[in-house]
Amino acid sequence: MKHIHNKLNHQAALIHLNRPAFNIRQQGFSLIEFMVASAIGVIVLMAAGATYFTTVKLKQDVESKVAYQQNMRNTADLLRRDIRQAGNFGCMTEPTTAVLGGSISTDNKFLSQAALPSAIAPSDTIGSPLVTIYGHNTNNQNANDCGQTVDNQNMIDGAAYVVAKMGRDAHYNLYRFVYSQGAWVTTPQMVAENVSNLALNLQYQDSTKCPTSTTDTAKRMGMTTSPVSGQLPILVATTLTTCPSGKYSGGSCSEGAQSYVVQAMLRQGNLCLKKINELTTG
């Protein structure tokens, strides 16, 4: 009996030793610790969100500026091409006033700011348009064409630029009309958005300062503000007033308007070069 009693006591002791210590106190986060950790998490998330939205806005601003610059470069290329072509009929004789007629240019000049023909004139415009007239396909003329007169409107091309609102435009844009095959195309091309003005600065060569002989070295080429009748400018500076951001407030550009200047030289306006060519070939 004693042996059995001792064995039972031994087993009871083992059970007591293996029993989990349920009386050990277990603790989690306190309310203050939880609130501090939550506040830190919220601050981190807000900082990350602010950084993200700032980055997105900067990206959009950069993309907008790049698109604006590319758009204005394309516009400048078109303007230079049309202005440089003004009055260029290759080796053919330029058309008379009767051939040009009012349907092409109201003042019958090859580069002008006269009112547009009624067939294409928009109803809501700002400032004066820019009209350029030149020969059709002058790069492919042959010997049989040289010396002949441009005697019909199918042999004439042209372009007209105007700042206008058309259709559902909320703001003014720069449009380009094309003259081809004897008529103005009534559907224009929008070449630049958010353009509020087009201004020209024309510089003319002084014909009185051109050489009169191959030995004439006293005279020097100069500029004048009083051109002779029908004279084309030698330099045209076109200033476009634009709103790069496209954001307006009260009808004005909210982030500041900018001026974009396009300069182009006209070969047909170089009277002295024509005179020198006549002297050296005559």
**Per-residue pLDDT in tens (0 to 9) along the chain, 282 residues:** 555 555 555 555 555 555 555 455 556 677 788 788 888 888 988 888 888 888 888 887 778 788 888 999 999 999 999 999 998 888 888 888 888 877 777 676 888 888 888 888 898 999 889 999 998 888 777 777 888 888 888 889 999 999 999 988 999 999 999 998 888 999 999 999 999 999 999 999 888 888 777 777 666 668 887 788 778 899 999 999 999 888 888 888 888 899 999 999 988 888 888 777 777 775
Beta bridge pairs of residue 202: 236
Q: What angle do CA 241, 225, 206 make, to 5 degrees?
A: 125
Q: Are 194 and 173 in contact (CB under 8 A)?
A: yes
Q: Are 151 and 99 in contact (CB under 8 A)?
A: yes
Closest to 112 in 3D by CA, of 204, 230, 195, 227: 230
Q: Which two tokens stand for residue 16?
A: 């007591």
Mapping DSSP to helix (H, G, I), strand (E, B) and coil, where does residue 73 land? helix
Closest to 158 in 3D by CA, of 207, 123, 119, 124: 119
90: left (phi > 0), else alpha (psi -120 to 50), else beta?
left
Mapping DSSP to helix (H, G, I), strand (E, B) and coil, where does residue 122 land? coil
- CA distances to 142, 146, 216 from 276, rounded to whole Å, are 24, 20, 10
